[in-house]
Chains A and B, each alone.
Chain A
Amino acid sequence: MATARTPLIRRPWRLAAEAGALLLAAAVAFPLYWMVLSAFKPAGEVQSTEPLPWTLHPSLDAFRRVFQQQDFGRYFLNSLFVAGVVVIASAVIAFLAATAVTRFRFRFRTTLLIMFLVAQMVPVEALTIPLFFLMRDVGDAVPGIGLNTLGSLILPHLAFSLPFAIWMLRGFVKAVPEALEEAACLDGASRSRFLWQILFPLVFPGLVATSVFSFISTWNDFLFAKSFIISATENSTLPMALLVFFKPDENDWGGIMAASTVMTVPVLVFFVLVQRRLVSGLGGAVKD
């Protein structure tokens, strides 16, 4: 076997490893390539029993079908709104909580930390039943957040992304030297000023990494959208819109692939934008 570090590795081995890596990269990317390709293929080619890995007649028909169908654009905005609110709210709330558990000593601190850890393991899906009834009852009292509203998607996701966000941010808040806080304090900065103008910007890279996870889990949500948005289809999100193209007799694969592309591309863009921070953030959180 070759040695662990690149400079020490022997040349033929490294070339073989690099060729292998490129092949694997192609294999891993292939499903995404096929998705985008099929979205642009004309209907006849998508439903061909001799599928080709390219198309000479790219067409936007599938996308046109997707956006003309019902309110796909609206579903898209709904998904974006739900994920956006969850990301921002969970970042702020988790930041405060992470600060509390890392920069203060108080009774029940360790207990709380363990609770946050345990909370991450709660099978979200198992809570669909009680949450369904909770949303129904809350909806009777506060119409804005009951069943069939976007609130019924935002609130559970907020609760489910918080424990992980707090757990991850802990490391980032801890990494800010305490001397900084003391200095700020001696310079006469108030607590909230220190919190928002000094600590917050310093922890921001960690917040980005954390937000990726809350964004993805919310954007991906299928179960709650399926269970809580029953009759108000105008409040549906993307995953539900995607299912419309599955038909009992024959699936509209072109439409499914176009809708999938529309649903995936924003996440891809988001990932590429925060990629560096994500990797360093994960490293930082894990090293801690």
Chain B
Amino acid sequence: MTLTVKEARAGGGRTPLTGARRGRPPSRRGSRWTPWLYLAPALVVLGGLLVYPIYQLGLISFLQYTQAQVSGGEPTSFQGLANYAELFGDGQFWQVLLATVLFAAACVVCTLAVGCSFAVLLTRIRAVPRLALMLAALGAWATPAITGSTVWVFLFDPDFGPVNRVLGLGDLSWTYGRYSAFALVLMEVVWCSFPFVMVTVYAGIRAIPGEVLEAAALDGASQWRIWRSVMAPMLRPILVVVTIQSVIWDFKVFTQIYVMTNGGGIAGQNLVLNVYAYQKAFASSQYSLGSAIGIVMLLVLLAVTLVYLRLLRRQGEEL
């Protein structure tokens, strides 16, 4: 086939045996080092700024690392699992972990519900209202997390915000109570993250050939049946992608919580793992504890990733 032509042309001279020596399809066009040459910049950046820091994060989580060690005043000492023991022995950690999981779950469910129903709505309306909804969603999507946060806090401001005025809530301060503060952040998070779900699912629905649906309808399938037996299976890969992306994204929320609840709420009532780690490390200089929290987050997200990979594999996606 043409492979041999390419091998002869590009591979000739340097490493002529490359393809034949290994029992796999020969690398097309170019020597065996070409792909690595292309990959080199990415690998250098990722190695230096992702892999190495992860290693460092793990390392620090096993050390005693506070302001004294950072400034070089005291030598660092290996602590074994002491930091983790301290963390797991702290009731606040478990409370924050639980709050993080529940908050992320609520965000994911709401984001998916809003995103999917808007996507379905988009397929049933004509161009002008569709464009209006699409543009509004793009606007919310494009809004930086920090400006979205400030605007939502302002909308719900007890004195100057329109929401309390319209709903007749008087001077209810949303950021004061634990649940109302979480609810406020949740609304902002859903607002700025449903567009991704909406656009992606909409693209997925549009990609389903109309003939398939018409054929199902002609065969007498009910709406529900069409959705369950035709559309849902075809949309499954997309739903998996947006769900996993949302889980990852919502589990890591930082800016919204930090800005809207002013660093984790009154007495830390609105802390999530991210903000908790940040406060531990940078506000109270307990870098080792902050790193241990980081490792916990890393492990949780790794578990989510493994589930994702398994789902992809089961769908037979070729990597």
Contacts and interface: CB of A to CB of B under 8 A. Distances in A.
Contact of A286 (B36, B121, B200): B200
A113 B319 contact: yes
Interface in A36-52: 38, 46-51
Contacts of A21: 121-122, 125, 129-130, 132-133
B317 to A, nearest CB: 9
Contact of B53 (A26, A38, A127): A127
A84 to B, nearest CB: 16
A130 B291 contact: yes
B269 interface: no
A6 B123 contact: yes
A283 interface: yes
Interface in B19-63: 22, 24-30, 32, 34-36, 38-39, 41-43, 45-46, 48-50, 52-54, 56-57, 60
A125 interface: yes
B274 A282 contact: no
| Main SS class of interface, B | helix
Interface string B271-307: 0001001100110000100110111011001101100
A162 B146 contact: no
Contacts of A283: 200, 203-204, 206-207
Interface residues of A, number: 109
A221 to B, nearest CB: 9
Chain B interface category by residue count: 35 or more
Contact of A186 (B5, B52, B159, B223): B5
Interface stretch (A56-64, A67-75, A102-110, A200-208): A102-110
A130 B53 contact: yes
12 contacts: A1-B223, A31-B191, A34-B155, A38-B154, A104-B38, A122-B50, A125-B297, A130-B291, A133-B60, A185-B29, A256-B150, A271-B139
Interface of A: 1-6, 8-9, 13-14, 17-18, 20-22, 24-26, 28-29, 31-32, 34-35, 38, 46-51, 53, 92-94, 96-97, 99-101, 103-107, 109-110, 112-114, 117-131, 133-134, 155-156, 158-160, 162-163, 166, 181-182, 185-186, 191, 216, 219-220, 222-223, 227, 239, 242-243, 253, 256-257, 260-261, 263-264, 267-268, 270-272, 275, 278-280, 282-283, 286-287
